[in-house]
Structure 1
Amino acid sequence: MANARELALQTLTDILIDGAYSNHALSEQIEKNELTVQDKNFMTELVYGTLQHEQLLNFYVTPFFNGKVKAWVRILIQMTLYQMLFLDSVPEHAAISEAVKIAKKRGGQFNGKLVNAILREMTRTPLPSLDTIKDEAERLAVETSHPLWLIKLWSKQFGWEKTIQMARANNERVNVTIRVNGVRGTREELKQKLESEGITCEYGNLSQDALLILKGNVIKTKAFEQGWFYVQDESSMLVARALKPKHHSKVLDTCSAPGGKTTHVAELMRQTGTVYAHDVYEHKIKLIKDNVKRLGLTNVVATLQDATTLNERYESDSFDAVLVDAPCSGLGILRRHPEVKITKQPSDLDEIMMIQKKILNTVAPLVKVGGTLVYSTCTVNRKENDKMVEQFLAQHPEYELDPTLVNRLPEVLHEQTKNGMVQLFPGDYQTDGFFIACLKRQA
């Protein structure tokens, strides 16, 4: 039987040193090693917990290193300190003992003694105090393990209180949320099915299509195999409702993978019309097709195509509705992808905005007069969101924001939906940060 701590260290090394995505790296290790359910849960907790608090843990451990240490040794110390500080169920001596064993196995006696000495010293000496950080933005950045540039960006765009709220919300645990497949049945029927299979769930906080999973592995159910639902955050579920595709219509989803919004749009069209789904990578097209097949949908055509060249494939005025769920900085999904806090740089935002702009300009002529264009992102950054829409409208006077968007969103969002746009913040309604804008082509 594989050691959960050892595998967690390897996963963290893959993420922090080799740049792997957390969900992919974790799934890969779980799939290729034999683990109990308890060990899988513990390993997941170690990986995501250490990533979520990486900057804070680094602040605490740095004074205890005399000279340079290997990257994996630092990660092992951080992971062990995470257990000591945040996991009441793990005895301190057990966390230290296991870390020393792993260090010896991975790096020999020297590294075993080094890890033991550092961890023992940390139990005898008070950890550094956050109060020593005088600048409030820097202190919040370390406390919540966010890059300082992001704290400053959010503070400038949304104010200090909202920034504190978002930063702290990003370190909270999230429940799995699922979207009922309306072609299969109702949300009530799905709830009954899942409960009969031992899953504890309740209705979502925001979307009329959502269930919150409180207990149980929903992916291992017959309901999943039979295509009764799709795993998706509630904020993301609002996009297809915002688009409100009519039956028998022709819809373009420009950046479709893995197919959550594509399949939702197809479900709302009740197997009529066609959703043309595209992505730039072959393996992502396969993901879309696999999800379409599992959900039993017959009105989706998934094809490889870069969204910035879709005007070469389709003629102007081809679609009743177009969805641009754009590539973005991902600053709204840091709860689920905490490594983004570590890897993302301000220059990345500039690069991604150029792509967003290019996609919007490319697909603008493809919408029929009277048709709908929905632009969405999973980020919290005005330059990628409402400011991007303003730029688009300035260049495309044939488009106008659609104020009726508010009627297609849950009532609790009506106040924050303005001029056909809505920004959700991390922690709002226990959802991700998300932006949606709805536009109509008038001429």
Structure 2
Amino acid sequence: MANARELALQTLTDILIEGAYSNHALSEQIEKNELTVQDKNFMTELVYGTLQHEQLLNFYVTPFFKGKVKAWIRILIQMTLYQILFLDSVPEHAAISEAVTIAKKRGGQFNGKLVNAILREIMRTPLPSFETIKDQEERLAIETSHPLWLIKLWSKQYGYEKAVQMAKANNERVHVTIRVNGVKGTREELKQKLESEGITCTYGSLSEDALVVLKGNVIQTKAFEQGWFYVQDESSMLVGRALKPKHHSKVLDTCSAPGGKTTHLAEIMRQTGTVYAHDVYDHKIKLIEANVNRLGLTNVVATLQDAMTLNERYEAESFDAILVDAPCSGLGILRRHPEVKLTKKPSDLDEITSIQKQILNTVAPLLKPGGTLVYSTCTVNRKENDKMIEQFLGQHSDYELDSTLVKRLPDALSDQTQHGMVQLFPGDYQTDGFFIACLKRQG
């Protein structure tokens, strides 16, 4: 039987050193190793917990490193300290003993003794205090393990208190949320089906299509195999309702993979009309098709095409509705992908806004007069969101914001939905950070 801590260390090394995505790296290790359910859960906790608190753990352990230390040893020390500080179920002596054993196995007796010495010293010495950090933004960055530039960005755009809320929310536990396939049945019927298979779930707080999974592996159910639901955050589910295409519509989905919003649109149209889904990578097109087939949908056509060249494929005024779920910085999904905090750079934001602008300008002529265009991102950054829409409207006089968006979103968001746009912040409704803007093309 594989050792959960060893696999967690390898996964963290793949993510932090090799640049792997957390969900992919974790899934790969779990799939190729024999683990109990308890060990899978423990391994997942170690990986995501260490990633979420990496900057804080680094602040704590750095004073105890004398000279250059191998990257995997630093990660092992951080992972062990995470267990001691954050997991009540793990005794201190057990965490240290396991770390030393792993170090010996991976790097020999010398490294085992080194890890033992560092951890023993950390346990004997008071950890560094946040009080030594005078600047409040820098202190918040360390305490919540966020890059300082991001804390400064959020403070400038939304205020310091909102930055505090988002940073803390990004370190909270995340429940799996699922969207009922309306073609198969109702949310109530799905809930009953899952409960009969031992899954504990409750209704979502925002989306009328959402269930929140409280206990059990929902992917290993007959309901999943039979296409009764799609795993999706509640904030993302609101996009389909925002666009709300009529039956028999011709809909363009510009950046579709892995197919969550694509399939939701197809479900809303009740198998009528067609959703034309596109992505720039062939393996992602296959992923869209796999999800479409599992859900039993027949009104989706998935094709390989760069969103910035869709005007070469389709004639002007071809579509009743268009979704631009744009590539973005992903600053709204840090609680699900904590490694983004460690890899994203301010320059990345400027590069992505250029792509977003090009996609919008490319597809704008493809919408029929009177049609609806929804622009969405899973980020919290005004340059990618409301400022992007302001720029677009300044260049396209035939478009205007759709103030009726508020009628298609939950009542809880009525105060936040202003002039056809809504920004969800991490921590508001236990959802990801998300932005939606709804536009109409004038006839």
TM over 0.5, shorter chain = yes
Aligned-partner Cα distance in 1 for 2:103–2:312: 56
In 1: Cα distance, 2:84 partner to 2:132 partner:
22
Q: Which residue of 2 aligns with 1:413?
A: 413
SS at match of 2:247: coil
* Ranges of 4+ aligned residues in structure 1 off by more than 2 Å: none
Q: Deviations over 1:293-322 (max 9, x none)?
A: 000000000010000000000000000000
**Distance between the aligned counterparts of 1:257 and 1:34, measured in 2?**
30
Deviations 1:110-139 (A, max 9, x none): 110000000000110001001110100000
Q: Does 2:439 match 1:439?
A: yes
Alpha-carbon distance in structure 2 between the residues aligned to 1:232 and 1:442? 32
Does 1:91 pair with 2:72? no
C-alpha offsets along residues 138-182 of structure 1, whole Å, 9 cap, x if unaligned? Answer: 000000000000000000000011110000000000100000000
| Match in the other structure for 1:279 | 279
Aligned to 2:293: 293
- How does 1:4-403 map onto structure 2 within 5 Å? 4-403=4-403
Amino acid at match of 2:122: M
What is the aligned-residue identity percentage? 87
CA apart distance, 1:427: 1.1
Distance in 2, matches of 1:368 and 1:13, equals 50
- Secondary structure of 2:179's partner? strand
Distance 2:53 2:363 in 1: 40
Following the alignment from structure 1 to structure 2, what is the Cα–Cα distance between the partners of residues 79 and 63? 16
1:224 deviates by 0.3
Deviations 1:29-67 (A, max 9, x none): 000000000000000000000000000000000000000
Residues 81-113 of structure 1: CA deviation (Å, up to 9, x unaligned): 000000000000000000000000111111100
State the number of aligned residues.
Answer: 443
| Cα distance in 1 for residues equivalent to 2:68 and 2:343 | 22
SS of equivalent to 2:333: coil
Deviation of 1:365 after TM superposition, in Å, equals 0.2
* CA deviation map 1:159-210 (0-9, x unaligned): 0111100000000001000000000000000000000000000000100000
Structure 2 unmatched runs, 5+? none
Alpha-carbon distance between aligned partners in 2 of 1:132 and 1:255, rounded to the nearest angstrom: 46
1:290-349 C-alpha deviation (Å, 9 max, x unpaired): 000000000000010000000000000000000000000000000000000000000000
CA separation in 2, counterparts of 1:69 and 1:156?
37
SS at match of 1:403: coil
**Separation of aligned partners in 2, 1:211 and 1:413:** 18
Aligned partner of residue 323 in structure 1, secondary structure: strand
Offset at residue 428 of structure 1 (A): 1.2
**Structure 2 CA distance for aligned equivalents of residues 105 and 361 of structure 1:** 56
Unaligned runs of at least 5 residues, structure 1: none
Write the distance in 2 (CA, Å) between the matches of 1:5 and 1:233: 29
C-alpha separation in 2, matches of 1:206 and 1:363: 30
For 2:287 and 2:426, the matched residues in 1 are separated by 27
